[in-house]
Amino acid sequence: MFRVLMVCLIMTLPFSSLAEVIHKERSLYRNILVEKTGDLLCLKFNEKTRKSTQSCMYKSEPKKLVFNYTKMTFASLLFIDNPKNVLIIGLGGGSLSNTIHELYPSAHIENVEIDPAVIKVARDYFSFVETDNVTSKVQDGRIFIKRAALKKQKYDWIILDAFNGDYIPEHLLTKEFFAEVKSVLADGGIVAANTFSSSKLYQHESATYFDVFGDFVNVVTDENSNRIILAGFETMPSQQQLAERVNKLANKLTPYDVDLQLLSEHLFYTKGNQDWPADTKVLTDQYSPANLLNYQ
């Protein structure tokens, strides 16, 4: 028994020297880890068999965004000017909120996160900034948006980022939910959803977005990564308009390692280009086996 333990200990040594766990927490929903690997600080959700990374930052360059999908979210800025009211569903380490706050200090940003422990960790380890303008609320995203609709609130940038790689809150992926999102979207506003680009779910998800928003844009910069869906805009900007926006904003985004020029070249408009079968079943509150579809 002792020898087995020793072997186990020795085997884990090289890994522990690479990534150092600096905080561990068991929340209502999951185990949360904050891991430090050299300069990189990451928030991870831990299950017995796997760890999924939610958010990371470089300690020496906290501005620089680490994940491709976070960077891709900023393709939204090719569609909107000066967002004033921003809604973020799913906080993670708070890097989106921090970046948007730096870019637009006067914008109101509301972060909605279901897990209070995630908010705490974002504050304690990831310098998540909260001010009078930047707030966070512990709530299920669906409930928040339903109440916001009752209060007739409007947002001109809505970011949906509540999926964690292997689990999908199925009530945040239905036609009814997207209709509620649409009802709190201001005129000229945009919805950006960080989501999947593989499995059978891809088709169902596309069909559902199309059903509610009409044609939308997929932002995909490399084959195996996530996609960002941009939806809710009225007209697709022309090449010239896109170029103008890139010129105007590119420098502002460089410190965050966001290459707006590159993003502008990776917008795939679905008009005349639908890559899902026409008879794909739309996901609804009545039919929403997203987690099961994700394995098919």
Partner 1 sequence: MNKINALIYFLAFSSGFCIMGIELLGGRILAPYFGSSVHIWGSIITVFMLSLSFGYLLGGKLSTRNPSLTKYGLIFFAASIMVVPIVLFAEPIMTFIFTHIEDSRYGSLLASTALFFIPTTILGMISPYSVRLLVTDHEKSGQVAGGLYFVSTLGSALGTIITSFYMVLAFDVNDIIKTFAAVLGALGLLAIAVSQLKTKERTVCLES
Give the active site residues: 161
Residue 160, CA distances (Å) to 50, 141, 228, 249 in order = 24, 9, 10, 23
Cα 22 to its chain centre, rounded Å, is 24
Establish if 199 lies at the interface with partner 1 (CB under 8 A): no
Establish if 7 lies at the interface with partner 1 (CB under 8 A): no
Q: Are 220 and 227 spatial neighbours (Cβ–Cβ below 8 Å)?
A: yes
For residue 164, the tally of other CB atoms under 10 A from its CB is 16
Tell me the two tokens of residue 266. Answer: 């990776």
Least distance from C-beta 136 to partner 1, angstroms? 16
- Closest CB to partner 1 among residues 170, 215: 170
**Beta-sheet pairing, 31-37 with 40-46:** antiparallel
Least distance from C-beta 284 to partner 1, angstroms? 7
Measured distance between the N- and C-terminal CA atoms of the chain, rounded to whole angstroms: 42
Residue of the chain from 23, 51, 120, 146 that contacts partner 1 (CB under 8 A): 146
Establish if 120 lies at the interface with partner 1 (CB under 8 A): no
CA atoms within 13 A on the CB side of 77: 26
With contacts defined by CB under 8 A, name the span among 47-55, 57-65, 123-131, 171-179 that binds partner 1.
171-179
Establish if 142 lies at the interface with partner 1 (CB under 8 A): yes
- Closest CB to partner 1 among residues 36, 171: 171
Tell me the two tokens of residue 289. Answer: 């086996």
Residue of the chain from 6, 13, 21, 292 that contacts partner 1 (CB under 8 A): 292
Residue with tokens 């170029």: 243
Cα 248 to its chain centre, rounded Å, is 24
Establish if 288 lies at the interface with partner 1 (CB under 8 A): yes
Residue of the chain from 58, 68, 108, 140 that contacts partner 1 (CB under 8 A): 140
Least distance from C-beta 88 to partner 1, angstroms? 17
The residues that touch partner 1, with contacts defined as CB under 8 A, are: 28-29, 114, 139-140, 142-143, 146, 150, 169-171, 174, 176-177, 284-289, 292-293
